[in-house]
Amino acid sequence: MEEIGKTMILFGTIFLIVGVVIFLIGKVPGLGRLPGDIVIQGENSSCLFPIATSILLSIVLTIVLNLVFRVLNR
């Protein structure tokens, strides 16, 4: 039972950190409006394809997760 409790605390902490990061990413000016992001605007609607933002976030998350896994596997 003790291991299950520790695992639940770990997952809860991870969810909290991810939630805070997602919340703060929305506050970063220019994110989602990088060169390479496609914006299609019509009369009554608009559509955003954040290709450059997705690539940038993918690179950053890859680096962060590699560092985390290296620390955890010691």
Local confidence pLDDT in tens for the 74 residues of the chain: 889 999 999 999 999 999 998 888 878 887 778 899 999 999 999 998 999 989 998 999 999 999 989 988 87
Q: Which domain holds residue 59?
A: 33-74
CA gap 38, 49 in Å, rounded: 5
Residue 65, SS3 per DSSP? helix
pLDDT of residue 46: 93
**Alpha carbon 73 to chain centroid distance?**
23
Domain count, the chain: 2
> Does 37 share its domain with 21?
no
Has this prediction a pTM greater than 0.75? Answer: no
Q: What is the pLDDT of residue 73?
A: 85
Residues in the chain: 74
- Same domain for 39 and 63? yes
**Do 19 and 39 lie in a common domain?**
no
Q: How many CB atoms lie within 10 A of CB 32?
A: 15
The whole-number pLDDT of residue 28 equals 80
